[in-house]
Structure 1
Amino acid sequence: MKNLLYSLLCILFCGCTTTSFNISDLKPGDIIFQDVDCGPFCDAVDKVTSGYNGKDFSHCALVVQENDSLFIIEAVGQGVVKTSFHQFFGKKIAAGGTLVGRVKKQYAYLAPKAAKNAFQYLGKEYDDVFDINNDKYYCSELVYETYREANNGKDVFKLFPMTYKDPDTQDYFPIWVDYFKKLNVQIPEGEPGLNPGGVSKSDYLDIISISF
């Protein structure tokens, strides 16, 4: 089940300028947003949240630098891992595509700090119960924590109450009922969290399209 969810935004709740550049223009601290095709889980996510300009995003990750090389640190089913650009940008992407979030100029000092912070999370477990307070991490939680640390413990990206309910019926999505039942945990309805879509709409970010 974790492998199906590695790209899931994992937590549900509920003027940027768009320019364009190439992968070679990425910088440490950039946040990559992807609409990864993960089936019914992503369908449930898409129904209750949206990202920048109405787009759907089910995954986000950080660009980091080690020596002269850039790569990705992301929280996936296997935990927090280091991923090459080739592997990361080779995923099957749905209609929302891939966009880059870069902190605005007045906050640029946060980006390299956040990228450096990401290394300490390598090897941490994936947060399959989406608990912001445990020592496990889902994709947007990893971004949240690295930037919060860079900002001296103050939130950059906002936490909101999660929901796992279909907005049309106010009933829990069956896929979430089954998921949490298998984990033998209560559905964390209303607990604080965040998702890639919400992060992409942050006032701290400019959103940039990317060419391949």
Structure 2
Amino acid sequence: MPATVITEDLLPGDLLFQLRAGGEAEWVISRLFAGRDGIAINHVALYDGDGMVIEAVMPQVKKTPLDDFLNCSVLDNHGRPCVLVCRLEADYSILVSAALEFAEQQLAVPYDPHYSQSQDGHQKSWYCSELIVHAFRSANEGCFLFEETPMSFRDMDTGELMPFWIDHYKAVGQDIPEGLPGSHPALLSCSDKLVSINIFGSLPAKNGQDLCSLEPGSTLV
């Protein structure tokens, strides 16, 4: 991957919204909602400082070197990782330290691939945006800073339940949690509590085709 200068632009507590490469799961996550300015986003991590991020990914919440995080991005056609950097509005910056402390305490907690509901912020597993939402909820004395949003497992263009999710929940013997409270990294990126700091790489629009089926390090064409 070409060198990307990013660390010097980051502050602890910044949110890194990513178009993460991978397989069908990454693709279908990007097809549920559009992110800020209509871009495709399927993952979010919390910058912890010193070149490290905290993220909920399989198999568990972990600290990841920033370079490794970037290496999991889809690349634009200039070879740059597709990452949007957002920062809390100044009025809420006081929450950053406690949010990071909460996130640190979740390290090694399993990833939640089924998007289960949390119970008052106490969770045995987390998915990416849920970890962020509840980190700042904890920092905000139990009040949501980023409100939960109804979950959807429908293609945003057709309105139909996506076959991937039908098969996924059938395999685990669970009902699809359509409409239940939750979060999505794309919707989180649209929060009015956040300001956009920088975009590294040209994130594609949400209606791009087959973007997330690319292998890590692959380039959009």
TM-score range, shorter chain: 0.7 to 0.9
Distance 2:164 2:67 in 1: 31
Distance 1:22 1:84 in 2: 12
Residue in 2 aligned with 1:92?
Answer: 73
Please tell me whether the aligned partners of residues 42 and 58 of structure 1 are also in contact (alpha carbons under 8 angstroms): yes
Please tell me whether the aligned partners of residues 109 and 125 of structure 2 are also in contact (alpha carbons under 8 angstroms): yes
Correspondence 1:79 to 2:60 = yes
What displacement does 1:211 show? 5.0
Question: Identity percentage over the alignment?
Answer: 34
Counterpart AA for 1:107: Y
Counterpart AA for 1:180: Y
Structure 1, residues 137-184: CA drift from partner, whole Å, max 9, x if none? 000000011111111111011211111123555432111111112222
Please tell me whether the aligned partners of residues 28 and 70 of structure 1 are also in contact (alpha carbons under 8 angstroms): no
Correspondence 1:29 to 2:13 = yes
Match of 2:91 among 106, 112, 116: 106
Q: Which has the higher strand share?
A: 1
Residue in 2 aligned with 1:172?
Answer: 161
Specify the SS of the correspondent of 1:81. Answer: strand
So what's the TM-score if we normalise by structure 2?
0.78
Runs of 5+ consecutive residues of structure 1 not aligned to the other structure? 1-20
Distance 2:165 2:187 in 1: 20
Please tell me whether the aligned partners of residues 64 and 116 of structure 1 are also in contact (alpha carbons under 8 angstroms): no
Correspondence 1:146 to 2:118 = no
Per mean C-alpha deviation after superposition, the further-off stretch among 98-107 and 85-94 is 85-94
Match of 2:47 among 22, 42, 63: 63
Residue in 2 aligned with 1:16?
Answer: none
Using a 3 Å threshold, how does the CA distance of structure 1 residues 139 and 167 change in structure 2: closer, same or farther?
A: closer
Using a 3 Å threshold, how does the CA distance of structure 1 residues 113 and 40 change in structure 2: closer, same or farther?
A: same
Please tell me whether the aligned partners of residues 18 and 73 of structure 2 are also in contact (alpha carbons under 8 angstroms): no
Match of 1:43 among 27, 36, 42: 27
Please tell me whether the aligned partners of residues 63 and 72 of structure 1 are also in contact (alpha carbons under 8 angstroms): yes
- Aligned-residue Cα RMSD (Å) equals 2.1
Residue in 2 aligned with 1:182?
Answer: 171
Distance 2:75 2:6 in 1: 20
Distance 2:133 2:197 in 1: 19
Distance 2:165 2:186 in 1: 19
Specify the SS of the correspondent of 1:119. Answer: helix
